[in-house]
Amino acid sequence: MNAPARRPSLLPFLATGFAAVVIAALLTATGYMLWQHRSVAEHRRQVAEYTATARQDVVNLMSMDYTNAKESVQRVLDSSTGKFRANFADTADEFTRALTEEKITTKASVNDAALESMTRDSAVVLVSATSRREGPGAPKDQQAPRVWRVVVTLERDGDQMKMSGVEFA
């Protein structure tokens, strides 16, 4: 008597197919998590770059010394672009002359900075700063520390971020 032919079992094929689907899903999930991680890391890097630039730009803008007025003004010009730079450049000589004649020194420090909005090549950063005006030409009532809220607009200029707008709030 001939033994009946055995049908091959589908179970190994189904198990292999299920394993392949699970592995593909896990690889897809891993790829997605890596992509998300890189996106978040890039976002954090940009936020750090923009806030650091705004902090330094506010210090440059608000810290002036009559003993090196031209250099103080040049620092602002070097870190700015667009209409803001053009407007500041137009008044740079008068500003330098006023600093020198009145023998005024201002020192600023940044208390905090926060990103309001950003794109790949621009950002708006809110900065809180404290300044102190000193020197023989500074009126006594203006020598107390003053707290400022500054809205700094930054734009990429080549490989650098520069101020393109400043508003005191």
Whole-angstrom Cα Rg for the chain: 30
Strand residues in the chain grouped as ranges (E): 64-65, 105-118, 122-134, 146-157, 160-168
Superfamily of the domain at 12-168:
VirB8 protein (3.10.450.230)
Report the C-alpha gap between 79 and 135 in whole angstroms.
26
Q: Name the one residue in this structure whose structure tokens are 């032919």.
A: 5
pLDDT digits (tens, 9 = 90+) for 36-87: 999 999 999 999 999 999 999 999 999 999 889 999 999 999 999 999 999 9
pLDDT digits (tens, 9 = 90+) for 6-29: 777 888 888 899 999 999 999 999
Share the mean pLDDT of the chain: 90
Report the C-alpha gap between 71 and 44 in whole angstroms.
33
What is the residue extent of each domain of the chain? 12-168
Whether the predicted model's global pTM rises above the 0.85 cut: no
Instruction: Please list the residues that pair with 161 across neighbouring strands.
Output: 156
CB 125 within 8 A of CB 116: yes
